[in-house]
Structure 1
Amino acid sequence: MDIAALQAFRAAAETGSFSAAAERIFLSQPAISKRIAALEGELGTRLFDRIGRRVQLTPAGQALLARARVILNEIEDARRSLANLAGEIGGELSLATSHHIGLHRIPETLKRFHERYPEVRLDLRFMDSEAACAAVLRGEIELAVVTLPAGPIPQLKAERIWDDPLEIVVAPSHPLARLRDASAKALLDYPAILPGPGTYTRGIILDALGSLRTRMRVGMTTNYLEVLKMLAVIGLGWSALPRTMIDDDLKVVQIKQVRIRRELGIVTHATRTVSNAGQAMIRMIREAA
């Protein structure tokens, strides 16, 4: 079974598109189609249903995907191990980060890394922290710089780099802005603007509010903290934002006995080899922090 065909298959399965798969692994779309057609011919079964411009795995394709990931992850891990023996820093480094961290925490590190190691091809992907951790677990991404999950995830290694305290904020004209040392119950009277359900940050915010979490009235959701800030600034509700984002357009609401804190850091797979390039990136992130 051809490794290149398996790589094309995995990319198409994970992106749901031959064109997106071509962009991911730096091939033309006809090359992707040719490799997958050859793989289907070798296996004697159809792996994808073509639906317009999208593709969907058949039952046979779903069965192959799990095995293809294991095979390709083992091959990639072996390649990294052998390359590490030479001590060279090169090749490709797949790195995922959240939009907030990518904008506010690591731009200078990325710039310095590129200047110091121009021979490394950086595959940088912006995604939600939860999706990034899942991608590391599946072997799609070598390392992620994201909001860390509140609890351990089997087979993932998480390293805290930054503490990131959050504050309850509103527009200066919002009624909550006039309160001093308010009870958390005061928040129940106004809509909240929070990250989407299932996100680490939303869970951290609601956990900090204790038993009130089930009574909160969530008016709007978005996973982009910059958008949360904008919605709070124009007075559409209260939100919880990192202190590093708070400026004169927002008012911090002091809530008694409520402390919201999340951790940001690096996530890698616990049992897979980190490439020399990945180790260099981790060192530079630590140094910058």
Structure 2
Amino acid sequence: MDIAGLQAFVTIADSGSFSLAAGRLHLTQPAVSKRLAALEAELDTRLFDRLGRAVRLTEAGGVLLPRALRILAELDDTRRALRNLSGVVTGPLTLATSHHIGLHRLPPVLRIFSSRYPQVRLDMRFMDSELAGAAVLRGEVDLAVITLPPRLEPPLEVLPLWPDPLIAIASPAHPLAEPATVTPESLSQYPAILPSEATFTRRIIEEGLARLGVTPLVAFSTNYLETIKMMVAVGLGWSILPRTMRDADLVELSVDGLRLERALGVVRHTGRTLSNAARAILDTLRE
């Protein structure tokens, strides 16, 4: 079975478009169509229905897709294993990370790594931690440096790197900033600005507040912690953020019984062979 045809098939299925697939593969659209046609001829079956500009998998295409993904993943893993035999740290390295970690944790690591291994072609992809973990599972990225999920199942595994204490914060002018100690009940009386519901951080916050009997009055939510920090600083509500984000525009609220922490670290796929470049950046992160 032709590998180029399988790559074209998988890319068309993922993008839902011959033109988008051509862009991703750095080919012309006729070249992509030719590769797919050759694969369909080899298998003697139609893999897509063409619906105007859109394409949809046929029943046969749906059967082939997971098998094609496994074949391509196995081929990539074989290539990495063979390249590793040289011991040279070179080639591509695709990392997924969140904007917060990319801003506050990774710069010194990347500075050291790029100076040590200039032959590595680093591809950084910024996305929510939850999406990054899923990208590792699908084999789209080598590693994800993210907020670690509270629970994770094989074939993924985690390497915790940085404990990240979370604190309740408000602007100095906020009513909650006046008392020396804030009762959990008083938090429910004022609007809160929290990370989006789908995030690992929001889950950690809600579970911690629930243990204190607090149901926050959420006025706004967003995935971007820097945006939350700005909204809290101008007095639009209180929040719970990493202690590392507190500055002169914010005060830490001493809340009875509130002790929260998330873990930041690496997620990898145990079924994939790590390249020398991936092993090297893991060693750099551990330092």
Scaled by the length of structure 1, the TM-score of the pair is 0.89
Whether the 8 Å contact between 1:18 and 1:29 is mirrored in structure 2 is no
Identify the range of structure 1 (261-270 vs 231-240) with the bigger mean alpha-carbon deviation. 231-240
**2:83 aligns to what SS in structure 1?**
helix
The alignment's C-alpha RMSD in Å is 2.4
Q: Which moved more, 1:14-23 or 1:216-225?
A: 14-23
5 Å-filtered alignment, 1:109-128, equals: 109-128=109-128
- The AA in structure 2 aligned to 1:227 is T
Aligned partner of 1:158 in structure 2 is 158
| Rg larger for | 2
User: Which runs of structure 2 are paired with 1:178-193 in the superposition (5 Å)?
Assistant: 178-193=178-193
- AA aligned to 2:150 is A
- How far does the alpha carbon of each residue in 1:67-119 deviate from its partner, in whole angstroms, 9 at most, with x for none? 22211111111111111112121221111111111111112222332232222
**Match for residue 107 of structure 1?**
107
Q: Which amino acid aligns with 1:45?
A: R
Once the two structures are superposed, the pairs formed by residues 244-283 of structure 1 within 5 Å of their partners are 244-283=244-283
Correspondence 1:40-119 to 2 at 5 A = 40-43=40-43, 44-47=45-48, 57=57, 59-119=59-119
Match of 2:173 in 1: 173
Instruction: Supply the distance in 2 between the matched residues of 1:178 and 1:129 (Cα, whole angstroms).
Output: 35
For residues 191-223 of structure 1, give each alpha carbon's deviation from its aligned partner in whole angstroms, at most 9, with x where no partner exists.
221111221111011111124677322211111
Partner SS state of residue 215, structure 1: coil
CA contact 1:206–1:213 (8 Å) conserved in 2: no
Which letter maps to 1:204? I
Cα distance in 2, alignment partners of residues 158 and 118 from structure 1 = 27
Does the aligned pair in 1 maintain the 2:184–2:213 contact within 8 Å? Answer: no
- Secondary structure of the residue that 1:78 maps to in structure 2? helix
1:153, CA displacement in angstroms?
2.0
**CA-CA distance at 1:55 after TM superposition:** 5.6
Query: Letter of the aligned partner of 1:275 in structure 2?
Result: S
Q: Which residue of 2 aligns with 1:208?
A: 208
Residue 198 of structure 2 is matched in structure 1 by 198
CA shift in 2, pair 1:282/1:18, >3 Å = farther
Inter-CA distance 223–18: structure 2 relative to 1 (3 Å threshold): farther
Q: Secondary structure at the match of 2:149?
A: coil
**Number of matched residues?**
285
Rounded Cα–Cα distance in structure 1 between residues aligned with 2:250 and 2:55: 45
- In structure 2, what is the Cα distance between the partners aligned to 1:233 and 1:41? 62
